[in-house]
Chain A
Amino acid sequence: MSLSPGIYFMSGNSAVAEGAIFAGCRFFAGYPITPSSELAERMAARLPRVGGIFIQMEDEIGSIMAIIGASWGGLKAMTATSGPGFSLMQESIGFAAITETPIVICDVQRAGPSTGMPTYVGQGDVMQAKWGSHGPYEIIAVSPSSVQECFDLTIRAFNLAEKYRVPVIILMDERLSHLYEKVRVPRKEDVIIVNRKLPKSKKNFLPYLADADLIPPMPPIGEGYHFHVTGLTHDERGYPKIDPEVQDRLVRRLCDKIRYHADEIIDIQTYMMDNAKIAVVAFGSVVRPAIKAIKLARSKGIKAGLINLRTIWPFPEKIIREYAEKVHTFIVAEINYGQIVHKVRESVNGKAKVVLLPKMGGAIHTPEEILNEIMEAR
């Protein structure tokens, strides 16, 4: 079954796989792509032993559609990919969003655009994760920065997917996927595992009638519910409706079910932010040199702290806004030419200075680079 409690030494890719199995994932469909392939390999070896199914599909579109199908078949399901494959999955992410299908996608980011540098790190999929499919919708994205977090946040990703009936993206990066670290696997009884809510009765059942929490119960197949699931705009009966009013009601609910629960979903981590005047905002692998840079800055008497965006989407606007009252500068360090910096700027809304510290991909920031930026901002 899933790993017994204890200390293990493993890579980020393996930790996501083990976290998924721990969370109850019993279906994986994927297509080989560097640097995520080891995740699929681990699932291929592990899933049959825990009562699950692994299938390598013909492409990434097939992979994500297969996990959406498996999720409707009642299994917790995930796929893993990297930039080019993630691009191919976008249409289906929109389909999962409108049909409210719980799925987990691990995107191990590499240096793009296009084929870019497959074996080198990147963080260029941050905006794509939120906006990649057409139309208005919301998803959840988490971003681990250690192998332990790969394990923990994967469990969380499944819980969020099941609870909110939404695609959840684990925004990993190459550096973390290939990093080997210690992982503490907890006891089953110490971890909360969330399963989707099921309808209470078939009588007058409407498949897309949401409860007060804006989330409709998810019916199982083969039990006589006779429900229809469509990517077309649909009413509470699940019937296609080409009607602006129905569209308004549906899209608002799809977005609001995430927005209204943002405080519950958002789980960010701060480091030495209590009296900080300069905030470094980072996520994924960059968190690690950032912590070192903060320590160096503090040793020089500079009041710097770190905001680790463990939840990237929904974006923790409120938290950033609150810190904007306390710090004079935000330094956004990301491995791209400016993506999440836009969200930071929007949240800060002119209350503090926002500086982008970009990396084009291929390497993570050194602590010195971040320290230099902190010194500049002082």
Chain B
Amino acid sequence: MPMEFVDHHIRDKYLKVDRLPHIWCPGCGIGSILNAFLLGMEKAEVDPDQVIVVSGIGCTGRVPGYLNMDTFHTTHGRAIPFAVGLKLARPDMHVVVFSGDGDLVTIGGNHFIHAARRNNDLLVILVNNFNYGMTGGQVGATTPTGAITTTTPYGNLERPFNIPYLAAAAGAVYVARWTSLHVRRLAWSIAEAFHRKGFRVIEVLSQCPTTFGRRNKMPEGIDMLRWYRDNCVIQHYADPKDAEIVPGRKIIIGKFIDITDGVETFEEKAWNLVRKFLGDRIEIPFRKGLRCPKEIPG
């Protein structure tokens, strides 16, 4: 049988294909996560023209640049406050923050917790690769204790953030964690989160063989995926306190929190205040047509 060459992908329409190939290393997980995001957006049946994607700096920060949508690649750590302003100005848009762990919870940690506390209506896709990949593999606030990085050559002395616990404690109304291996469930979770409102966080554990894995006995991308396969347990509505990632222990993934029904977003409060003064003289377009898609398959 003659070999058939496929020169396009089914979701090319969402990509700026003239920008490919992308910058990510062989074995990196960001591509799979991006694909899951596009699949999730498709499942959610939202109009891509109404989805604005914002990132900060880092490997994951490069995601928006490949999307054939309105996208913003901002400064290091500041994707969330940029998105806060953008979303307040245009409450009718789906604003997605798609960035990395170093960007969102290390340098940008303060913005993360305050946007969660305020319940800003943002969907945050937080790709956690446990280190600063783009700058060569330095330690971050998510690096497991004891892990070897270029700035912890004798092992990480610090304790990492437990992101679901941090997000939940700060007030996030939707909190889930998946991995770059669990792409189908991740896509469902993204689809579901599109139809929630408020500060929604989906942490996606990814693999970074180039700057993290190879220093920590997982030299190939597949090695980190095996780690996820062998150690992740799906446990919906688990206590986020138990979600800490400790090498050698089970990693809890799944949906931790989903309490978005009836919780007013900051955008609703701010624009309702305007409405109080101006009444019908001002038309405020909030996101419309939110619905709950099919539950995430177990």
Q: Which A residues fall within an 8 A CB radius of B?
A: 27, 29, 48-49, 51-55, 57-59, 61-63, 65-75, 77, 91-92, 95, 219, 221-232, 239-240
Write the chain A residue with the least CB distance to B79.
A65
Distance between B82 CB and nearest chain A CB, rounded to angstroms:
4
Contact A228 B89 (CB under 8 A): no
Instruction: List chain B residues, Cβ under 8 A from A95.
Output: 74-75
Contact of B68 among A29, A74, A222, A226 (CB under 8 A): A226
Interface residues of B in 233-269 (CB under 8 A from A): 266
Instruction: List chain A residues, Cβ under 8 A from B50.
Output: 222
Contact B84 A221 (CB under 8 A): no
Contact A58 B85 (CB under 8 A): no
Contact B74 A231 (CB under 8 A): yes
Instruction: List chain B residues, Cβ under 8 A from A230.
Output: 65, 72-73
Q: Which B residues fall within an 8 A CB radius of A?
A: 16, 19, 49-50, 52, 54, 64-65, 67-75, 77-78, 80-90, 92-93, 110-111, 114, 266, 270-271, 273-274, 276-278, 281-282
Per the bound structure, the CA–CA distance linking A74 and B68 in Å amounts to 20
Contact of B75 among A29, A65, A225 (CB under 8 A): A65
Instruction: List chain A residues, Cβ under 8 A from B78.
Output: 61-62, 65, 92
Distance between A165 CB and nearest chain B CB, rounded to angstroms:
15
Write the chain A residue with the least CB distance to B88.
A53
Contact B81 A62 (CB under 8 A): yes
Contact A51 B65 (CB under 8 A): no
Instruction: List chain B residues, Cβ under 8 A from A69.
Output: 54, 72, 81-89
Per the bound structure, the CA–CA distance linking A256 and B19 in Å amounts to 29
Write the chain A residue with the least CB distance to B112.
A58
Distance between A82 CB and nearest chain B CB, rounded to angstroms:
19
Contact B82 A68 (CB under 8 A): yes
Contact B85 A229 (CB under 8 A): no
A61-B78, A228-B16, A229-B73 as given contacts; A70 in contact with B86, CB under 8 Å: yes
Contact A224 B49 (CB under 8 A): yes
Instruction: List chain B residues, Cβ under 8 A from A239.
Output: 16, 19, 65
A95-B75, A226-B68 as given contacts; A51 in contact with B274, CB under 8 Å: yes
Q: When A and B form their complex, what is the total count of cross-chain residue pairs whose Cβ atoms lie within 8 Å?
A: 146
Contact A72 B81 (CB under 8 A): no
Per the bound structure, the CA–CA distance linking A13 and B189 in Å amounts to 47
Write the chain A residue with the least CB distance to B89.
A73
Write the chain B residue with the least CB distance to A67.
B85
Per the bound structure, the CA–CA distance linking A186 and B71 in Å amounts to 40
Instruction: List chain A residues, Cβ under 8 A from B19.
Output: 239
Distance between B230 CB and nearest chain A CB, rounded to angstroms:
38
Interface core residue of A53, A54, A66, A95 (most chain B CB under 10 Å): A66
A92-B75, A231-B73 as given contacts; A27 in contact with B88, CB under 8 Å: yes
Contact of A53 among B68, B89, B93 (CB under 8 A): B89
Closest 7 A/B residue pairs (Cβ): A73-B89, A69-B85, A66-B85, A69-B86, A70-B85, A62-B81, A65-B81
Instruction: List chain A residues, Cβ under 8 A from B110.
Output: 58-59, 62
Q: What are 28 A-B contacts with C-beta separation under 8 Å?
A: A27-B85, A48-B270, A49-B278, A51-B278, A53-B271, A55-B88, A58-B81, A63-B81, A65-B81, A66-B84, A66-B85, A69-B81, A69-B86, A70-B85, A70-B89, A71-B85, A72-B89, A73-B86, A73-B93, A74-B89, A95-B74, A221-B52, A222-B93, A228-B64, A230-B65, A230-B73, A232-B73, A239-B65
Write the chain B residue with the least CB distance to A103.
B85
Contact A77 B93 (CB under 8 A): no
Contact of B74 among A65, A225, A227 (CB under 8 A): A65
A48-B276, A48-B277 as given contacts; A55 in contact with B73, CB under 8 Å: no
Contact B81 A61 (CB under 8 A): yes
Contact of B84 among A62, A74, A75, A219 (CB under 8 A): A62
Contact B92 A48 (CB under 8 A): no
Contact B114 A58 (CB under 8 A): yes
Per the bound structure, the CA–CA distance linking A83 and B75 in Å amounts to 21
Per the bound structure, the CA–CA distance linking A74 and B64 in Å amounts to 20
Distance between B80 CB and nearest chain A CB, rounded to angstroms:
8
Write the chain A residue with the least CB distance to B65.
A228
Per the bound structure, the CA–CA distance linking A115 and B271 in Å amounts to 36
